[in-house]
Chains A and B, each alone.
Chain A
Amino acid sequence: MSSTTTFQLLTADGRALKAVLKKHKARRKRKAFLLVTPLLAFVIVGFCLPILDMLRRSTNNHIVEKTLPRTVLALKEWDAGGTTLPNEPAFASLAQDLVIAQHHRRATQLGQRLNYEFSGLASLFRRSGRHMEELVNEVRSTRGSYKETLIAFDARWGETDSWRVLKRFSDTLVADYYWAALDMRRDLRSNEVSLRPSKERIYLRLFGRTVVISLGITLATLLLGFPLALWIARLPSGQGNLLLVMVLLPFWTSLLVRTTSWIVLLQQQGVINDLLVAVGILSEEGRLRMIYNTTGTVIAMTHILLPFMVLPLYSVMKTISPSYMRAAVSLGAHPISAFWKVYFPSTVPGIGAGAIMVFILSIGYYITPELVGGRTGVFISNRIAYHISSSLNWGLAAALGVALLGFVIAIYWLYDKIVGIDNIRLG
């Protein structure tokens, strides 16, 4: 043992070989890092930062403290679980805060934010902001009470619930968007979080539906894509390439065009139904409903995502030597059993890659379900889009996005546990 520690390999010019190698390796590493820097920067700016921003938005709630700082302080002592209204100083602070907020055009913004939690606060803040200066002047000139004046101005200031919302959302960090994203609700009075009754649930149901339909689409692309990939892989390369181009051809057409073509084909007065009625398979009244429901979403998305299944399958199948099958058969296996026991297991990495790709792409899909999904074929992403562009509740949209991201990571983890992530190959 001791002899190995004292013995050192040297280079020709007498330096320690180990150190020279290390230096050389470090330089190569630096070079390699320099080469990936552009990509790294791109990933950080285009991917990591947006995700961090999404995380921040889903919990950030500075607006109340920023807009109504005095009120937040004045409400510190007030018990939101009780039934009494806050005292006069709280009302006075609110009046002062609102005058300043209105000056900076922030009162209505706060109203919009709080309206997500409690309907009616948008108009209460808009109205109050607009008139608060007059009200304050009135109180000052008559030496009256802010409490009475505000309640006389709008009875909603006399309701404890309005004040409870202010108190509950004084925190700068809240989990309420996540409660909402999971169909839960925080009781304003007791501050307890509970699941909504099943009749009122939206998001859990949508998450569930998104997963089930996406699994269906993955299965459908596998069933359609496997024989196709097998066929292409066995053709001579000239014909095989031609077929591959045909698989890729839909990629060159706009997604919207492909989706609307499915509407033309599948609707009740569409090509397929017309044909079936014309040949007498269906009666005029018995036209099939194949679109604006789950069926429509599955058909259109299977078509759109099929190449993502065929390509990895094809490239994996291409590497499987045909001699394996021949060997199995020559050793006495039935062709079906040879296929099942020898060929099929070798394609599993391709199936894994294709399935994960199709599944993850489809749970985030939104345009196609929006156009052909009707009522029962829409996904969670359609609700996220709604909250981004219509309700403008970006906090909730972010929380739903984080939930979806967490879900995808969970799927990935599960896949790794069951199949093993090393067992994925794209070729």
Chain B
Amino acid sequence: MSRNLFVALAAVLALGLSACKDDKASMEAKPAELVVVSWGGAYSASQQSAYHTPYMEKYPQVTIVNDDSSNEAVPKLRAMNEAGNVTWDLVDVVAADAIRACDDGLALEIDVDDTLAKAPDGTKASADFGDLLVSPCFIPQIVYSTTFGYRTDLVKEPMTDLCDIFDLARFPGKRSLEKQPINNLEWALLCDGVDADDIYNVLGTKEGVERALKKLDTIKSEIIWWSKGAETPQRLADGEVVAGSTYNGRLFSLIEEKKQPVAMLWDWQIFDLDGWIVPKGISDEQLEAVKHYLYFATDTQRLADQAKYISYGPARSSSAPLVGKHADLGIDMAPHMPTDPNNAKNVLLFNFDFWGDKRDEIDEQFQAWLSR
């Protein structure tokens, strides 16, 4: 008896709840706690200022909790998935990781036109993001680049050409490069006389990789390798290296915020994307809340706002004209964007297909070369 009563009560309660759910228009956020995973540091701070804080002011019933685990997001997502306990609601990853997570069934496919806001002029989200939608699971936020900075006081003349990095006679001193084949091999081939359009044909063969490594051999003794994005700025500030590659936002903060004698070498910067994925396995209510947040946080104005805090280019083309001045420094941000025409004379776009297939194989070759 009492058991039947209980079931009946539960059913009534559930009905009532679902009725409540339908009552509230989809525009109003339900109380929720969202765990948002990102990179920490200046990048998370820019998201906090541009997205989280305004969102929570508008919808005080939602709490956003930050988790700085993006650099190991995919392995952690996989572990959560295997354990059947996904505790993250939204994860900020680079595009290559998004593709990877999507392939491994760790991220949800998102219909961008269905989920995200249109541009102010009515352009559909899919058209506004355009080619940057590199995976069905991926919602791009920013375009960033990996490029070089150099110490202005340690060189006799400014570095303007990528191949200056390989010129030890004119620019003696240590260089800081990332301990991975991606980017370094492309740069080596470009400076070995390979045409930009031909790079991935050459890298597709073992001989091509050897050729790139041979070019790197010419500066191998002068390279200090990095694995964390903060290392190059630190080494530049200490004068430990004369030039080094890192993410352009880190160099911006070194130059403009920390006022170090460092300048940008934009030649052949390599564009990459960073954005959101929604983990597979979260509950329907959480998914609802995440979508509500995403609608807000990826609209044209919000993406442009992020550029007030960090020098990464917004992923929507409709956001570009709205990029203004730095929130604290008051300087124009446009000339510091990797996408600015003056900076983007020679660029490469991270080749997701190529590296998706070849990364493991080339990495073995690269590691063997490193340990030689």
Q: Which residues of A contact B (CB under 8 A)?
A: 105-106, 108-109, 111-112, 115-116, 119-123, 126, 199-202, 205-206, 209, 267-270, 292, 370, 374-376, 383, 388-389, 391-393
B357 within 8 A of A: yes
Chain B residue total in the interface (Cβ 8 A): 35
Contact in complex: A112, B104 (CB < 8 Å):
yes
Given contacts A109-B104, A269-B239, contact A392 B78 (CB under 8 A): yes
Contact in complex: B364, A202 (CB < 8 Å):
yes
- B114-163 interface with A by 8 A CB criterion: none
Complex: A370 Cα to B151 Cα, angstroms: 25
Contact in complex: A112, B100 (CB < 8 Å):
yes
Given contacts A109-B105, A112-B103, A392-B78, contact A374 B360 (CB under 8 A): no
Given contacts A119-B357, A392-B74, contact A269 B103 (CB under 8 A): no
Contact in complex: B225, A292 (CB < 8 Å):
yes
Contact in complex: B75, A388 (CB < 8 Å):
yes
Contact in complex: B360, A126 (CB < 8 Å):
no
Complex: A223 Cα to B83 Cα, angstroms: 47
Complex: A374 Cα to B221 Cα, angstroms: 11
Contact in complex: B102, A108 (CB < 8 Å):
yes
Secondary structure call for the B interface? helix
Contact in complex: A200, B238 (CB < 8 Å):
no
Query: What residue of chain A has the Cβ atom nearest to residue B73's Cβ?
Result: A389
Contact in complex: A111, B103 (CB < 8 Å):
yes
B224 within 8 A of A: yes
Contact in complex: A122, B357 (CB < 8 Å):
yes
Complex: A270 Cα to B241 Cα, angstroms: 12
Shortest B153–chain A CB gap in Å is 13
Shortest B318–chain A CB gap in Å is 29
Chain A hits for B357, CB < 8 A: 115, 119-123
Given contacts A106-B105, A269-B239, contact A199 B225 (CB under 8 A): no
Beyond A109-B103, A111-B103, A199-B368, list 10 extra A-B contacts (CB 8 Å): A108-B104, A122-B357, A200-B364, A292-B224, A292-B225, A375-B370, A376-B371, A389-B75, A392-B104, A393-B360
Q: Give the top 9 A-B pairs by smallest Cβ distance, nearest first.
A: A108-B103, A119-B361, A105-B105, A269-B239, A120-B357, A389-B72, A123-B357, A202-B367, A389-B75
Chain A hits for B102, CB < 8 A: 108
Chain B hits for A119, CB < 8 A: 357-358, 360-361
Chain B hits for A375, CB < 8 A: 179, 223, 225, 370-371
Shortest B106–chain A CB gap in Å is 10
29 contacts between A and B (CB under 8 A): A108-B103, A108-B105, A109-B103, A111-B103, A112-B100, A112-B103, A115-B357, A116-B360, A119-B357, A120-B358, A121-B357, A126-B103, A126-B356, A200-B368, A202-B364, A206-B371, A209-B371, A267-B240, A268-B240, A269-B238, A269-B239, A269-B240, A270-B240, A375-B179, A375-B223, A388-B75, A389-B72, A389-B74, A392-B74
B3 within 8 A of A: no
B363 within 8 A of A: yes
Contact of A202 among B74, B104, B238, B371 (CB under 8 A): B371
Chain B hits for A112, CB < 8 A: 100, 103-104
Contact in complex: A123, B360 (CB < 8 Å):
no
B49 within 8 A of A: no
Contact of A267 among B71, B238, B359, B371 (CB under 8 A): B238
Contact of B360 among A105, A111, A391 (CB under 8 A): A391
Complex: A278 Cα to B328 Cα, angstroms: 40
Query: What residue of chain B has the Cβ atom nearest to residue A375's Cβ?
Result: B370
Chain A hits for B74, CB < 8 A: 389, 392
Chain A hits for B340, CB < 8 A: none
Given contacts A109-B104, A267-B240, A392-B75, contact A374 B367 (CB under 8 A): no
B353 within 8 A of A: yes
Complex: A374 Cα to B224 Cα, angstroms: 7
Contact in complex: A205, B371 (CB < 8 Å):
yes
Given contacts A202-B364, A269-B238, A292-B224, contact A122 B103 (CB under 8 A): yes
Chain A hits for B363, CB < 8 A: 391
Chain A hits for B365, CB < 8 A: 200
Chain A hits for B174, CB < 8 A: 268
B372 within 8 A of A: yes
Residue among B78, B174, B357, B359 with the most chain A CB within 10 A? B357
B53 within 8 A of A: no
Complex: A121 Cα to B103 Cα, angstroms: 12
